[in-house]
Structures are given as structure tokens and as C-alpha cells.
Amino acid sequence: MNQEEYIKERVENQIKWYSGKSSTCQKKYKVWQVIKVIAALLITTLSLWAEKEVFGVKMTYVVAILGAFIIFIESFIKIYDYKKLWAQYRMASENLNREKLYFETKSEPYDGSEPFKLFVQNCENIMKGENQGWEEILAEEDKT
């Protein structure tokens, strides 16, 4: 694989993938947080009418269901850890972008001999580090 192929097929593809995954995780995290806040606001508001019935349903039941829903959301967010994944993917994307910029501008450390070899090693280490992050997440889950 030559330099142009590596940059296009490996580095740029990985940058796109990490960036896309980061954006997806960011959106999911924020959506679930907004839903959780809305449910909490509804609990606060509906509890004012706890003894009333609306459409034949006691508000205490609605408040209890919303409370359980918030617990579900918290558990869901904890299981999928969108915030951590969002940051992890964003860091990998930005690190690869930075290395690519340094390489293309022949900035340090790519101003010496065999810059392409060093570039490949650094990019692969960034991707390996992201994979190790996954291994750590899985190991943490096994402990709990």
C-alpha cells in the first residue's frame, strides 16, 4: 500500500468513521438527557395533582411510571455510555486528523527520514489505543 492509498483508504476512512460515530453518540446522549429532564419536570408538575384523576387515571400512578421511566433511562445511558463513546471517538478522529496534518505539512516529527513509516506507526497506534479503550470498557462490564 502506497502513501496515497494509506491516507485515503485507511486514515481518511477511519477519521470519517470515528467522526460519524462520535456525532451519533453525542446526539443519542443529548436526546436521552433531554427526555430524562422532561420526565423529571413532568413528575414535579403532575405531583401537584397527585390526588386527582385525569381520564380515569390517578396522577400518583402517572408520577410513579415517570419515576420508573427515569430509572430506565439512567440505566440505559449507563449501559451504552454514549457520553464516553462520544468523547473516545472524537479524540481518535481529532488525533488522526492532527497526525495527517503534521505529515502533510512535513512538520515535526515527520521532517526526518522515513516520515511515512513513522506516520503509519503513529496512526496505527492511535487506532490501537481506541481499540484498547473498548477492551477496557468490556473488562469493566465483566467486573460488574
Question: Which residues, in sequence order, are CB contacts of 26 under 8 Å at separation 6+?
Answer: 82, 86, 90
In the chain, the number of structural domains is 1
3-class DSSP state of 57: strand
Q: Give me the pLDDT at residue 137, please.
A: 62
Q: Give me the pLDDT at residue 144, please.
A: 61
- Going by their DSSP bridges, the two strands 53-54 and 57-58 should be labelled as antiparallel
Q: Say if residues 66 and 39 touch (Cβ distance below 8 Å).
A: yes
Our CA angle for 32, 37, 40, nearest 5°, is: 125
pLDDT tens digit at each of 144 positions of the chain: 899 999 999 999 999 999 999 999 999 999 999 999 999 999 999 888 878 887 788 889 999 999 999 999 999 888 999 999 999 999 999 999 999 999 999 999 999 899 999 999 999 999 998 877 666 666 666 676
Give the separation between CA 141 and CA 88, rounded to whole angstroms.
17
Nearest Cα neighbor of 37 from 68, 61, 86, 73 is 73
> What domain range is 12 assigned to?
3-143
Query: What's the sign of the alpha-carbon dihedral 41, 43, 44, 46?
Result: positive
